[in-house]
A and B are shown apart, each in its own frame.
Chain A
Amino acid sequence: MTSIATSIAEQIAERLTPYIGQFNSRMWVKAVARRELGLAPDEVTAAHLGTLLDGLRPSLSTLMGRGAAEDLLLQIRREVR
Protein backbone atom coordinates (compact mmCIF):
# COMPACT_ATOMS: atom_id res chain seq x y z
CA MET A 1 0.00 0.00 0.00
CA THR A 2 1.39 3.44 -0.96
CA SER A 3 1.89 5.91 1.90
CA ILE A 4 -0.05 9.14 1.42
CA ALA A 5 1.04 10.61 4.75
CA THR A 6 1.51 14.38 4.64
CA SER A 7 5.08 15.51 5.34
CA ILE A 8 5.95 17.33 8.56
CA ALA A 9 6.66 20.54 6.63
CA GLU A 10 3.30 20.35 4.83
CA GLN A 11 1.44 19.73 8.10
CA ILE A 12 3.05 22.81 9.66
CA ALA A 13 2.32 24.94 6.57
CA GLU A 14 -1.31 23.74 6.58
CA ARG A 15 -1.73 24.94 10.18
CA LEU A 16 -0.23 28.35 9.38
CA THR A 17 -2.26 28.85 6.18
CA PRO A 18 -5.55 30.05 7.79
CA TYR A 19 -3.60 32.88 9.41
CA ILE A 20 -0.86 33.97 6.98
CA GLY A 21 -2.06 32.43 3.71
CA GLN A 22 -0.68 29.53 1.71
CA PHE A 23 2.05 31.55 -0.02
CA ASN A 24 3.74 32.78 3.15
CA SER A 25 3.22 29.63 5.19
CA ARG A 26 5.09 27.55 2.58
CA MET A 27 7.78 30.20 2.14
CA TRP A 28 8.35 30.48 5.90
CA VAL A 29 8.61 26.71 6.44
CA LYS A 30 10.91 26.36 3.42
CA ALA A 31 13.15 29.24 4.55
CA VAL A 32 13.42 28.02 8.15
CA ALA A 33 14.09 24.39 7.09
CA ARG A 34 16.90 25.59 4.84
CA ARG A 35 18.34 28.12 7.32
CA GLU A 36 18.08 26.12 10.57
CA LEU A 37 18.45 22.56 9.28
CA GLY A 38 20.03 22.86 5.84
CA LEU A 39 17.21 20.67 4.50
CA ALA A 40 14.54 20.86 1.82
CA PRO A 41 11.00 20.88 3.29
CA ASP A 42 10.26 17.26 2.25
CA GLU A 43 13.43 16.06 4.08
CA VAL A 44 12.21 17.37 7.45
CA THR A 45 11.25 14.61 9.92
CA ALA A 46 9.50 14.57 13.30
CA ALA A 47 12.93 14.75 14.96
CA HIS A 48 13.39 18.23 13.45
CA LEU A 49 10.04 19.56 14.63
CA GLY A 50 11.37 21.47 17.66
CA THR A 51 14.11 23.23 15.67
CA LEU A 52 11.70 24.11 12.88
CA LEU A 53 9.12 25.59 15.27
CA ASP A 54 11.83 27.52 17.14
CA GLY A 55 12.92 28.97 13.80
CA LEU A 56 9.37 30.12 13.03
CA ARG A 57 8.96 31.83 16.43
CA PRO A 58 10.52 35.27 15.59
CA SER A 59 8.39 35.82 12.48
CA LEU A 60 5.20 34.66 14.17
CA SER A 61 5.93 36.78 17.26
CA THR A 62 6.34 39.89 15.08
CA LEU A 63 3.09 39.30 13.23
CA MET A 64 0.82 38.10 16.05
CA GLY A 65 2.62 38.93 19.29
CA ARG A 66 4.52 36.55 21.55
CA GLY A 67 1.45 35.21 23.37
CA ALA A 68 -0.50 34.18 20.28
CA ALA A 69 2.69 32.87 18.61
CA GLU A 70 3.46 30.63 21.60
CA ASP A 71 -0.13 29.33 21.66
CA LEU A 72 0.01 28.52 17.94
CA LEU A 73 3.42 26.83 18.18
CA LEU A 74 2.17 24.70 21.10
CA GLN A 75 -0.87 23.70 19.06
CA ILE A 76 1.31 22.72 16.09
CA ARG A 77 3.65 20.76 18.38
CA ARG A 78 0.62 18.87 19.78
CA GLU A 79 -0.98 18.09 16.43
CA VAL A 80 1.89 17.46 14.01
CA ARG A 81 3.42 14.00 13.93
Chain B
Amino acid sequence: MRFRWLAVFPLLYAAAFLLAAWWLRGAAPALALFVPGQRIVVRILAVAGCFVAASVFERGDHLRRAWLWLGWGAVAILLRDLLRLLPPFQPASAGPGAQIIVSGLGILSNVALLAGVWALARSWKMAAIELPGGRSGIIAVAAVTAVLAVAVAGPGALKNARELAAGDWGSLILFVSAVADIISLCLITPLLLTAVSLRGGVFSWPWGLITASQLSWLLYDAAAGLTPALGLRGFPVMAETFRGMAENYLFVAGVAQYLVIRQVRRAAG
Protein backbone atom coordinates (compact mmCIF):
# COMPACT_ATOMS: atom_id res chain seq x y z
CA MET B 1 0.00 0.00 0.00
CA ARG B 2 2.81 2.43 0.89
CA PHE B 3 4.28 1.96 -2.61
CA ARG B 4 0.95 3.04 -4.12
CA TRP B 5 1.06 6.19 -2.01
CA LEU B 6 4.58 6.83 -3.25
CA ALA B 7 3.32 6.53 -6.84
CA VAL B 8 0.44 8.94 -6.16
CA PHE B 9 2.54 11.60 -4.39
CA PRO B 10 3.99 13.26 -7.56
CA LEU B 11 0.48 13.50 -9.05
CA LEU B 12 -0.91 15.09 -5.88
CA TYR B 13 2.01 17.51 -5.85
CA ALA B 14 1.39 18.39 -9.51
CA ALA B 15 -2.29 19.04 -8.79
CA ALA B 16 -1.40 21.24 -5.80
CA PHE B 17 1.17 23.13 -7.90
CA LEU B 18 -1.33 23.77 -10.72
CA LEU B 19 -3.94 24.92 -8.21
CA ALA B 20 -1.49 27.34 -6.57
CA ALA B 21 -0.29 28.62 -9.98
CA TRP B 22 -3.91 29.20 -11.06
CA TRP B 23 -4.65 31.01 -7.78
CA LEU B 24 -1.60 33.26 -8.34
CA ARG B 25 -2.35 33.81 -12.04
CA GLY B 26 -3.23 37.48 -11.55
CA ALA B 27 -0.23 38.23 -9.35
CA ALA B 28 2.82 38.02 -11.61
CA PRO B 29 5.42 38.96 -8.92
CA ALA B 30 4.09 36.27 -6.56
CA LEU B 31 4.05 33.68 -9.37
CA ALA B 32 7.62 34.68 -10.31
CA LEU B 33 8.69 33.86 -6.73
CA PHE B 34 6.53 30.75 -6.34
CA VAL B 35 7.66 28.88 -9.49
CA PRO B 36 11.45 28.94 -8.84
CA GLY B 37 10.84 28.39 -5.13
CA GLN B 38 8.89 25.19 -5.65
CA ARG B 39 11.52 24.12 -8.22
CA ILE B 40 14.14 24.25 -5.45
CA VAL B 41 11.84 22.14 -3.24
CA VAL B 42 11.48 19.35 -5.84
CA ARG B 43 15.24 19.45 -6.58
CA ILE B 44 15.95 18.97 -2.86
CA LEU B 45 13.48 16.06 -2.71
CA ALA B 46 15.18 14.42 -5.72
CA VAL B 47 18.61 14.75 -4.08
CA ALA B 48 17.22 13.24 -0.85
CA GLY B 49 15.62 10.30 -2.70
CA CYS B 50 18.81 9.43 -4.58
CA PHE B 51 21.03 9.49 -1.50
CA VAL B 52 18.49 7.57 0.60
CA ALA B 53 18.54 4.87 -2.10
CA ALA B 54 22.36 4.84 -2.28
CA SER B 55 22.59 4.56 1.53
CA VAL B 56 20.94 1.14 1.60
CA PHE B 57 23.64 -0.46 -0.60
CA GLU B 58 27.22 -1.39 0.19
CA ARG B 59 30.33 0.16 -1.34
CA GLY B 60 30.94 -1.48 -4.74
CA ASP B 61 27.30 -2.44 -5.37
CA HIS B 62 26.20 -1.66 -8.93
CA LEU B 63 22.99 0.11 -7.92
CA ARG B 64 24.82 2.19 -5.29
CA ARG B 65 26.95 3.65 -8.10
CA ALA B 66 23.82 4.26 -10.21
CA TRP B 67 22.02 6.11 -7.42
CA LEU B 68 25.16 8.13 -6.52
CA TRP B 69 25.47 9.30 -10.14
CA LEU B 70 21.83 10.36 -10.06
CA GLY B 71 22.30 12.00 -6.65
CA TRP B 72 25.35 14.06 -7.67
CA GLY B 73 23.60 15.02 -10.90
CA ALA B 74 20.66 16.26 -8.84
CA VAL B 75 23.04 18.16 -6.51
CA ALA B 76 24.70 19.93 -9.47
CA ILE B 77 21.40 21.11 -10.94
CA LEU B 78 20.17 22.19 -7.48
CA LEU B 79 23.35 24.27 -7.03
CA ARG B 80 22.79 25.83 -10.47
CA ASP B 81 19.20 26.78 -9.59
CA LEU B 82 20.27 28.20 -6.22
CA LEU B 83 23.01 30.29 -7.86
CA ARG B 84 20.49 31.58 -10.40
CA LEU B 85 18.49 33.11 -7.55
CA LEU B 86 21.49 35.40 -6.82
CA PRO B 87 21.70 38.63 -8.89
CA PRO B 88 25.28 38.00 -10.24
CA PHE B 89 24.16 34.67 -11.70
CA GLN B 90 20.82 35.70 -13.18
CA PRO B 91 20.64 35.41 -16.99
CA ALA B 92 20.14 39.14 -17.52
CA SER B 93 23.11 40.27 -15.42
CA ALA B 94 25.56 37.33 -15.35
CA GLY B 95 29.13 38.06 -16.47
CA PRO B 96 31.26 35.56 -18.43
CA GLY B 97 32.64 33.91 -15.25
CA ALA B 98 29.18 33.43 -13.79
CA GLN B 99 27.92 32.08 -17.13
CA ILE B 100 30.73 29.50 -17.19
CA ILE B 101 29.92 28.35 -13.63
CA VAL B 102 26.18 28.04 -14.35
CA SER B 103 26.76 26.30 -17.70
CA GLY B 104 29.40 24.01 -16.18
CA LEU B 105 27.00 22.89 -13.43
CA GLY B 106 24.32 22.26 -16.06
CA ILE B 107 26.65 20.11 -18.17
CA LEU B 108 27.97 18.21 -15.12
CA SER B 109 24.41 17.52 -14.02
CA ASN B 110 23.35 16.23 -17.44
CA VAL B 111 26.36 13.92 -17.71
CA ALA B 112 25.92 12.56 -14.17
CA LEU B 113 22.17 12.01 -14.57
CA LEU B 114 22.76 10.25 -17.88
CA ALA B 115 25.42 8.00 -16.28
CA GLY B 116 22.97 7.11 -13.50
CA VAL B 117 20.08 6.32 -15.84
CA TRP B 118 22.48 4.34 -18.06
CA ALA B 119 23.67 2.28 -15.07
CA LEU B 120 20.08 1.58 -14.00
CA ALA B 121 19.05 0.74 -17.57
CA ARG B 122 21.76 -1.89 -18.04
CA SER B 123 20.95 -3.69 -14.77
CA TRP B 124 18.53 -6.06 -16.54
CA LYS B 125 21.39 -7.42 -18.63
CA MET B 126 23.77 -7.70 -15.66
CA ALA B 127 21.11 -9.45 -13.56
CA ALA B 128 19.99 -11.69 -16.46
CA ILE B 129 16.42 -10.43 -16.15
CA GLU B 130 14.19 -11.80 -18.90
CA LEU B 131 12.49 -8.87 -20.64
CA PRO B 132 8.89 -9.49 -21.76
CA GLY B 133 7.65 -9.38 -25.32
CA GLY B 134 10.50 -11.25 -26.99
CA ARG B 135 12.96 -9.68 -29.40
CA SER B 136 10.29 -8.16 -31.66
CA GLY B 137 8.41 -6.67 -28.71
CA ILE B 138 11.58 -5.07 -27.32
CA ILE B 139 12.48 -3.64 -30.74
CA ALA B 140 8.95 -2.24 -31.17
CA VAL B 141 9.00 -0.48 -27.76
CA ALA B 142 12.55 0.79 -28.42
CA ALA B 143 11.55 2.16 -31.83
CA VAL B 144 8.50 4.00 -30.46
CA THR B 145 10.58 5.46 -27.60
CA ALA B 146 13.39 6.54 -29.93
CA VAL B 147 10.96 8.25 -32.33
CA LEU B 148 9.30 10.10 -29.44
CA ALA B 149 12.67 11.11 -27.96
CA VAL B 150 13.98 12.46 -31.27
CA ALA B 151 10.65 14.19 -32.06
CA VAL B 152 10.62 15.91 -28.67
CA ALA B 153 14.29 16.76 -28.10
CA GLY B 154 15.71 16.52 -31.64
CA PRO B 155 14.66 19.97 -32.98
CA GLY B 156 16.21 21.67 -29.95
CA ALA B 157 19.43 19.69 -30.35
CA LEU B 158 19.64 20.62 -34.03
CA LYS B 159 18.97 24.32 -33.38
CA ASN B 160 21.60 24.45 -30.62
CA ALA B 161 24.11 22.51 -32.74
CA ARG B 162 23.72 25.14 -35.50
CA GLU B 163 24.18 28.01 -33.02
CA LEU B 164 27.21 26.27 -31.51
CA ALA B 165 28.72 25.78 -34.98
CA ALA B 166 28.20 29.51 -35.60
CA GLY B 167 30.37 30.27 -32.55
CA ASP B 168 27.69 30.79 -29.89
CA TRP B 169 29.25 28.98 -26.91
CA GLY B 170 26.24 29.86 -24.81
CA SER B 171 24.39 27.14 -26.74
CA LEU B 172 26.79 24.44 -25.51
CA ILE B 173 24.82 23.68 -22.34
CA LEU B 174 21.55 23.56 -24.29
CA PHE B 175 23.09 21.27 -26.91
CA VAL B 176 24.58 18.91 -24.30
CA SER B 177 21.28 18.93 -22.44
CA ALA B 178 19.28 18.10 -25.59
CA VAL B 179 21.61 15.24 -26.58
CA ALA B 180 21.56 13.86 -23.01
CA ASP B 181 17.75 14.12 -23.11
CA ILE B 182 17.54 12.10 -26.34
CA ILE B 183 19.82 9.34 -24.98
CA SER B 184 18.17 9.16 -21.56
CA LEU B 185 14.67 9.19 -23.08
CA CYS B 186 15.70 6.25 -25.28
CA LEU B 187 16.67 4.44 -22.06
CA ILE B 188 13.00 4.44 -21.05
CA THR B 189 12.71 1.14 -22.96
CA PRO B 190 14.94 -1.03 -20.74
CA LEU B 191 13.67 0.70 -17.59
CA LEU B 192 10.03 0.14 -18.52
CA LEU B 193 10.54 -3.47 -19.63
CA THR B 194 12.53 -4.24 -16.47
CA ALA B 195 9.63 -2.91 -14.38
CA VAL B 196 7.14 -5.00 -16.37
CA SER B 197 9.35 -8.09 -16.13
CA LEU B 198 9.55 -7.75 -12.33
CA ARG B 199 5.75 -7.30 -11.97
CA GLY B 200 4.30 -9.13 -9.03
CA GLY B 201 7.49 -8.46 -7.06
CA VAL B 202 8.24 -5.40 -4.94
CA PHE B 203 11.37 -4.66 -6.99
CA SER B 204 9.14 -3.57 -9.88
CA TRP B 205 8.27 -0.41 -7.88
CA PRO B 206 11.61 1.46 -8.04
CA TRP B 207 11.94 0.59 -11.73
CA GLY B 208 8.37 1.64 -12.47
CA LEU B 209 8.80 4.93 -10.63
CA ILE B 210 12.11 5.70 -12.38
CA THR B 211 10.33 5.01 -15.68
CA ALA B 212 7.58 7.45 -14.63
CA SER B 213 10.28 10.06 -13.92
CA GLN B 214 11.77 9.61 -17.40
CA LEU B 215 8.31 9.78 -19.01
CA SER B 216 7.67 13.02 -17.12
CA TRP B 217 10.90 14.45 -18.57
CA LEU B 218 9.59 13.48 -22.00
CA LEU B 219 6.39 15.46 -21.29
CA TYR B 220 8.48 18.35 -19.91
CA ASP B 221 10.54 18.51 -23.11
CA ALA B 222 7.37 18.39 -25.20
CA ALA B 223 5.71 21.18 -23.19
CA ALA B 224 8.88 23.31 -23.10
CA GLY B 225 9.29 22.89 -26.86
CA LEU B 226 5.69 23.88 -27.55
CA THR B 227 5.94 27.16 -25.62
CA PRO B 228 7.93 29.17 -28.19
CA ALA B 229 6.62 27.20 -31.16
CA LEU B 230 2.94 27.85 -30.49
CA GLY B 231 3.16 30.98 -28.35
CA LEU B 232 0.97 29.40 -25.70
CA ARG B 233 0.99 31.41 -22.49
CA GLY B 234 -0.03 28.58 -20.17
CA PHE B 235 2.72 26.22 -21.25
CA PRO B 236 5.53 27.48 -18.97
CA VAL B 237 3.35 26.36 -16.06
CA MET B 238 2.71 22.99 -17.79
CA ALA B 239 6.45 22.48 -18.37
CA GLU B 240 7.10 23.34 -14.72
CA THR B 241 4.42 20.85 -13.66
CA PHE B 242 6.09 18.05 -15.62
CA ARG B 243 9.52 19.02 -14.31
CA GLY B 244 8.13 18.76 -10.77
CA MET B 245 6.62 15.36 -11.57
CA ALA B 246 9.95 14.13 -12.99
CA GLU B 247 11.87 15.24 -9.89
CA ASN B 248 9.22 13.90 -7.52
CA TYR B 249 9.12 10.52 -9.28
CA LEU B 250 12.91 10.36 -8.90
CA PHE B 251 12.44 11.13 -5.19
CA VAL B 252 9.82 8.40 -4.65
CA ALA B 253 11.81 5.91 -6.78
CA GLY B 254 14.74 6.41 -4.40
CA VAL B 255 12.50 5.95 -1.37
CA ALA B 256 10.96 2.81 -2.95
CA GLN B 257 14.45 1.44 -3.64
CA TYR B 258 15.35 1.97 0.03
CA LEU B 259 12.12 0.36 1.25
CA VAL B 260 12.37 -2.80 -0.91
CA ILE B 261 15.95 -3.50 0.18
CA ARG B 262 14.94 -2.96 3.82
CA GLN B 263 12.01 -5.34 3.27
CA VAL B 264 14.32 -8.10 1.98
CA ARG B 265 16.74 -7.69 4.90
CA ARG B 266 13.98 -7.56 7.51
CA ALA B 267 12.22 -10.66 6.14
CA ALA B 268 15.50 -12.56 5.88
CA GLY B 269 16.88 -11.38 9.22
B201 touches A71 (CB 8 A): no
B204 at the interface (CB under 8 A from A): yes
A17 touches B201 (CB 8 A): yes
Would you call A21 and B61 a contact (CB within 8 A)? no
Residue from the list B60, B128, B130, B268 in contact with A72, Cβ < 8 A: B268
Binding site for A on B (CB under 8 A): 56-58, 60-64, 123, 126-130, 132, 197-204, 260-261, 264-265, 267-269
19 cross-chain CB contacts under 8 A: A18-B201, A18-B267, A19-B202, A19-B203, A20-B201, A21-B200, A24-B198, A27-B130, A28-B128, A62-B62, A62-B126, A63-B129, A63-B203, A64-B264, A66-B58, A66-B61, A68-B268, A71-B264, A71-B269
Q: How many angstroms from the CA of A31 to the CA of B129 in the assembled complex?
A: 11
Number of interface residues of A (CB under 8 A): 28
> Smallest distance from the beta carbon of B171 to chain A beta carbons, Å?
39
Query: Given contacts A23-B197, A64-B261, could you give 7 more A-B pairs where the C-beta distance is less than 8 Å?
Result: A16-B201, A17-B200, A19-B201, A21-B203, A24-B130, A59-B127, A68-B268
Are the CB atoms of B198 and A72 closer together than 8 Å? no
A62 with B123: CB separation less than 8 A? yes
The count of A-to-B residue pairs whose CB atoms sit within 8 angstroms is 86
Given the known inter-chain contacts A62-B127, A63-B123, A66-B61, please indicate yes or no for A18 contacting B268, CB distance below 8 A.
no
Q: Is the interface of B mostly helix, strand, loop or mixed?
A: loop
A23 to B193: give the CA distance in the assembly, Å.
13
Q: How far is the CA of A73 from the CA of B127 in the complex (A)?
A: 16
Considering only CB atoms, which chain A residue lies closest to B202 in the complex? A19
Interface residues of A (CB under 8 A from B): 16-25, 27-28, 31, 58-68, 71-72, 74-75
Q: How far is the CA of A77 from the CA of B146 in the complex (A)?
A: 44
Of A18, A19, A31, A72, the most chain B CB neighbours within 10 A belong to: A19
Complex alpha-carbon distance, A42 and B122, angstroms: 31
